[in-house]
Amino acid sequence: MRVLITGAAGFLGSHLCDRFLREGHTVVGLDNFLTGHPDNIAHLIGHERFSFVRHNISEFTYLAGALDGVLHFASPASPVDYLEMPIQTLKVGSLGTHNALGIALAKGARFLLASTSEVYGDPLEHPQAESYWGNVNPIGPRGCYDEAKRFAEAMTMAYHRAQSVDTRIVRIFNTYGPRMRPGDGRVVSNFIVQALQGAPLTVYGDGSQTRSFCYVEDEVEGIYRLFGSSETMPVNIGNPNEFTVRLLAELVVELTGSSSPIISHPLPTDDPKVRRPDITRARRILGWEPTIQLRDGLVRTIEYFRGLKGSARMQPPT
């Protein structure tokens, strides 16, 4: 297959490029480096089945040649990023998704949308199954991301129903691992960078809010299987093991051997209180479930950030 991956220089996008190349496919990577980084794909430059286009998918996009797949992973995805860039976030979820679907339609390619657990907002149903419609504040600060992804899902289903595009929707839950940006602002990267730098770990609120963290290798496996399946309804791909943010902070301190204290910062507006995927559908349809425990995944991620120490990329976390 020849596939287009938007957001190819991002955390998930770059791991997906690796995965498709490893399976023998040809990959066209597209990114405008808004939040992606050239380092994430540096190892692919010169690969005979990889090519790269520096472009913003929210603008009109022309790509020559046949395509069998379009995987739309371009978007700011960390709350810090989308709060800073709400308009770009809304544009890539709406115009970017429209353009990516247009390419899929023109090429007769299968389309996969990277959606998110944020479509469930601050959920009133726990754990979250795909049948849950969510509890999103459209005008709150997170609305730009949540609603962009909800619109993207609606657009994907419209192309599926009205234009017969062969579509897939993955709802991605908190994923972590190597290639997260040190200054990305998400909890795993923040805590690890803080611990390695001897800075206080910033727990927002009282740390009793929960998340369920999926190691990137597991996440990519689930996405790859979904792409190859015939399921056109959304599928949650995430790790159902749920932890409080405080427990995560304690675990990072322990695993890094850091002497950093854990301090409290104000809780951001509309921060979801709980989050855990119901992965019954993924188990049934894809035979998929995560295999990497948080402790093991964190050890690997800490290794990655240790390797960045001293480099220009290792700025203090936001």
Nearer to ligand UDP, 257 or 266 (CB): 266
Q: Binding of ligand UDP at residue 294 (CB under 6 A)?
A: no
* Residue 38 to residue 29: CA distance in whole angstroms: 11
- C-beta closer to ligand UDP: residue 2 or 126: 126
CA proximity to 5, closest of 33, 21, 27: 27
Restricting to residues 210-229, name those near ligand UDP by CB under 6 A.
211
Helix (H) or strand (E) holding 169: strand 167-172
Which of 132, 151, 204, 304 is close enough to bind ligand UDP by CB under 6 A? Answer: 204
Query: How far apart are CB 60 and ligand UDP at their closest, in Å?
Result: 30
Is residue 248 within 8 A of residue 213, CB to CB? The reply is yes
**Active-site hit among 145, 159, 215, 224:** 145
Please, which residue, 232 or 318, has the CB nearer to ligand UDP? 318
Q: Which is nearer to ligand UDP, 52 or 176 (CB)?
A: 176
Assess 181 for contact with ligand UDP (CB under 6 A): no
The span from the CA of 56 to the CA of 60, in Å, is 8
The site for ligand UDP, by CB under 6 A, has a size of 15
The answer to whether 80 and 149 have CB atoms below 8 angstroms apart is no
Residue written as tokens 């490029």? Answer: 17
Q: Classify residue 151 by its DSSP letter.
A: H
Catalytic residue list contains 132: no
d(CA 186, CA 216): 14
Instruction: Please give the positions annotated as active site.
Output: 145
The binding site for ligand UDP (CB under 6 A) comprises 78-79, 174, 186-187, 190, 202-204, 209, 211, 245, 267-268, 271
